[in-house]
Structure 1
Amino acid sequence: MTNLKQLLHHIEVIQTRGNAPESIENIHFDSRKVQANDLFVAVKGTQADGHQYIGQAVALGAKVVVCETFPKNLSDSATYIQVANSAKALGWLASNYYDHPSKKLKLVGITGTNGKTTTVTLLHQLFRKFGYRVGLLSTIQNYIDDTALPARLTTPDPLELNRLIAEMVKAGCTHCFMEVSSHAVVQERIAGLHFTGAAFTNISHDHLDFHETFANYINAKKQFFDQLPPTAFALINADDKRGMVMLQNTVAKTQRTFALKQFADFKARVVESSLQGLFMEIDDVEVWFQMIGYFNAYNLLGIYAIAVLLGEDTTETLTLLSGLQSVPGRFEKIIGESGATGVVDYSHTPDALENVLQTIFELRQSGQKIITVVGCGGNRDASKRPIMAQIACQYSDVVIFTSDNPRNEPPMQILEDMQEGVSIDDEPKTSLIASRKDAIRKACELAQKQDIILVAGKGHETYQEIAGVRHPFDDRLVLKAFCSKIAHISSSCCYYLNYPYL
């Protein structure tokens, strides 16, 4: 049992109806999970409004209901507490319920359109090499030190989030690195969390199906920094023209920048870039990294800056960072004995796709063709479809438009939307193949010795969502199977993979 008064700490109550009990058992925002003596939070979600299920929750035994508006019929068996924002209240309730676990370790949140997963995953690797026990909350997988847990959302709901962090604390973790999505900020999933620091990677066209305007999307990222405590550090990419916006209203005491192109607190220079890695100069020290492309140069510099801001030695940080390996589905190379190269990448935004293709384009050798297989997700921002098609054509010799996760949209409609971005001159090098499996097969059939095949959009995902059903599908395995000339997946890309048959 948990004291109700303690649970309501930091929550501004507008009014209460009924005689509140001294304590409750559990907190739920899913009415189906409610049992006797529980507290139910009615949250207005994107798919459903929890206020519609207050009666069901009370019937199942809820003794306390937290909501924004009282239902017409109040039950004598429950107490109703009105708040201005029930989603925000849920965050604080969850934090109070688990005794503020985010204050018991160093929680660092990473936000931005691209680079979040790579940054938090490599930070998790790096700090474990330092000798710490470390937590990870990411798109790919959650980790409590070396114990893997499945990840459903980029940022979990407040109850799950606080439960995971509490388990990390119990396991002795001193740090936790977490992806903070724009959805999570707007939906108040991070309310009640205490962040030691926050970092901004970049921002570009994405998620306008949810945010509606680019300005709203930028503001969602900014809200994360606006909510930081005075004790936190705020780190931003100064090369992104919207980076400084993130710092406008933050009260974080330590505000720092990193950049490759202009003056910054943490500055680096790319000495050499190839398909084998990056040779960089950071803090006047030249270091070789296994990551590929200028986009990873930003990721590496940001990781270095975060480590230093957390008090780690600069030399040891660079030494350990140079030995880290790539993240699954992020420029993951499949190398063939004959010299053919496949690349699987999660790039599902215009900016991310351009970064990857531009890297391949600049590093390819004379005579190498670039064959790109790419699609766009269904029931998501449709405005980016022609843009991504245009980018694919700009840097590729052959482009195959195919299904990503069509969800509940007709796959061919998505491909036709993409095709609208193709110029008359580029039409001859494009084709539409709705089946992702057939599209990858076609790319392998077209590839000659030394050519590069990019399969973009799904990266680490091991499923394809079609008409509400998730079917097993892994770009890496399909690409390997069809490209008989491609012999093995590069060992530098196998961290976190659990496929014994690879």
Structure 2
Amino acid sequence: MGININELFGSVNIQSIKGDRDVEVNEIHFDSRKVKSGDLFVACRGTMSDGHDFIETAVEKGARVIVCEELPKSSTSETSYIVVEDSSAALSQLAHTYYNKPTENIQLVGVTGTNGKTTIATLLYHLFKKLGYKVGLLSTVCNYVDEKEIKATHTTPDSLQLNALLAEMVEVGCEYCFMEVSSHAIDQKRVGALNFKGGIFSNITHDHLDYHKTFDAYLKVKKAFFDQLGKKSFAITNADDKNGKLMLQNMKGHKFSYSTRSFADYRCQILEKHFSGMLLEMDGAEVWTNFIGDFNAHNLLAVYGTARLLNQNKEEVLKGISELKSVDGRFESIISIDGIMAIVDYAHTPDALKNVLETIGTLRSGNEQVITVVGAGGDRDKTKRPLMAKISAELSDKVILTSDNPRSEDPDQIIREMKEGVAANNTRKVLAISDRNEAIRTACMLAKKDDIILVAGKGHEDYQEIKGVKHHFDDKEIIREIFKL
């Protein structure tokens, strides 16, 4: 569809224009390879490349308008050049306008934090489906436009994909959308133009320092999401996280909190814990849930509080929560015929791994072995590696350090860096097997009846990325094959 740039740039802060101000463009792109005649190209500065280096290519392909932060050395009279302060922020605004400002017609709730984002967003999606609504979901595992499943490639899609999906949700009649909001997406202004009904803060721990460099920078990016929420929006934050209050400091809208330990707007207490689930007292009412662990009590409480803030009936919400099932690859258990339990979990940060192992520790009777299979991703935050191994060795009876997604790195080198975190008194319980398939098989061979195997790090993923190639690999598939299920 053609759109006039005067209409398209209504909410963009333009610094200068060189060329015709009254032209129509067909599509918007920030990847010069996708540009066709009559399109608009936005030159964004990325971590790996700078879109300004591809302006000439976009013009050669017929781009009618170029959006950039600085004019190229050479230009053509057939092309209009629009200079903005921040191309990424402009792209977000342009995408939102191009797709008819979808968040003005759907109640969008964003979930941010280090751990729990996928679980909270996905459970809200399923809960609101149970409550009878048409709903959208944007998550690490999968995107949904009501019932339609769309494979996810990033935690938060780019600005164009994001607004296209939201527009599709509006078109089919979705009233709500729940989305994970990653720190990368906030920092890269992908969500800057969206109108959020509410924001949820789960927690913040050690992660993504390969990108943000310091924990303080990571913290500030998360906080920036809440700073940009409007006066009519709500924010609900985890009061049990020491940075929960910080997230709300400059938030202009309505502020709420949830807690399992202290005073908050929404509270819950764990009454019973079993491998099959937990009995919770939530907001004064008892509810049985199919989830395990203190971290899941927090996740469910965030879901409950958000549903109530979206004006849903308390009894119906509690009934819906009691029917919810575990999210794919999150504390997912598989039991062998001879009584060995394997748990597959996406835990890929030190805190998430500690939470899962401590949860297993509270549920074991004392005689079982806990055998942990864990790796660390290549080309990512290296400071996590020794911490992951240290926690695994301290909270397990046996540990097998293995490959995760090594990407461009040598998996054996990653394992060596992990082993540096293992205390001298724990080295005997640690094995190193770089082949992940072999590592899982070894764990199953070492396990006896009633033992618990934790396979951590990949969860829902069905691939392993090695030297730029994604190979099919599914932890659950391998376990079921070994267990002959």
Band the TM-score falls in, shorter-chain normalisation: over 0.9
After TM superposition, list the pairs within 5 Å mapping 1:17-416 onto structure 2. Answer: 17-252=18-253, 254-416=254-416
Aligned to 1:500: none
SS in 1 for 2:36: coil
Per-residue deviation, 1:20? 2.6
How far, CA to CA, are the matches of 1:3 and 1:16 in structure 2? 15
Moved segments of 4+, more than 2 Å: none
SS in 1 for 2:424: coil
How far, CA to CA, are the matches of 1:437 and 1:194 in structure 2? 44
Aligned to 1:499: none
How far, CA to CA, are the matches of 2:10 and 2:236 in structure 1? 30
Per-residue deviation, 1:283? 1.6
Per-residue deviation, 1:137? 0.2
- The answer to whether the 8 Å contact 1:440/1:482 transfers is no
- The answer to whether the 8 Å contact 1:139/1:154 transfers is yes
CA deviations on 1:64-103 (whole Å, 9 max, x unpaired) are: 1000011000111101010000000000000000010011
How far, CA to CA, are the matches of 1:337 and 1:290 in structure 2? 22
How far, CA to CA, are the matches of 2:467 and 2:289 in structure 1? 41
How far, CA to CA, are the matches of 2:335 and 2:146 in structure 1? 31
RMSD: 0.7
How far, CA to CA, are the matches of 2:361 and 2:268 in structure 1? 23
Output the TM-score relative to the length of structure 1.
0.96
How far, CA to CA, are the matches of 2:425 and 2:481 in structure 1? 33
- The one-letter amino acid paired with 1:202 is N
CA deviations on 1:37-67 (whole Å, 9 max, x unpaired) are: 1110000011110000001101111111000
Aligned to 1:491: none
- The answer to whether the 8 Å contact 2:337/2:483 transfers is no
SS in 2 for 1:241: coil
How far, CA to CA, are the matches of 1:467 and 1:25 in structure 2? 37
- The answer to whether the 8 Å contact 2:6/2:21 transfers is no
SS in 2 for 1:425: helix
- The one-letter amino acid paired with 1:321 is I
Output the TM-score relative to the length of structure 2.
0.99
Q: Aligned residues, how many?
A: 484
How far, CA to CA, are the matches of 2:22 and 2:445 in structure 1? 69
Aligned to 1:443: 443
Aligned to 1:496: none
- The one-letter amino acid paired with 1:483 is F
- The answer to whether the 8 Å contact 1:21/1:63 transfers is no
How far, CA to CA, are the matches of 1:184 and 1:103 in structure 2? 20
- The answer to whether the 8 Å contact 1:260/1:267 transfers is yes
How far, CA to CA, are the matches of 1:228 and 1:19 in structure 2? 35
More displaced stretch, 335-344 vs 82-91: 335-344
| Residue ranges of structure 2 left out of the alignment (5+ in a row) | none
How far, CA to CA, are the matches of 1:401 and 1:385 in structure 2? 10
How far, CA to CA, are the matches of 1:425 and 1:23 in structure 2? 70
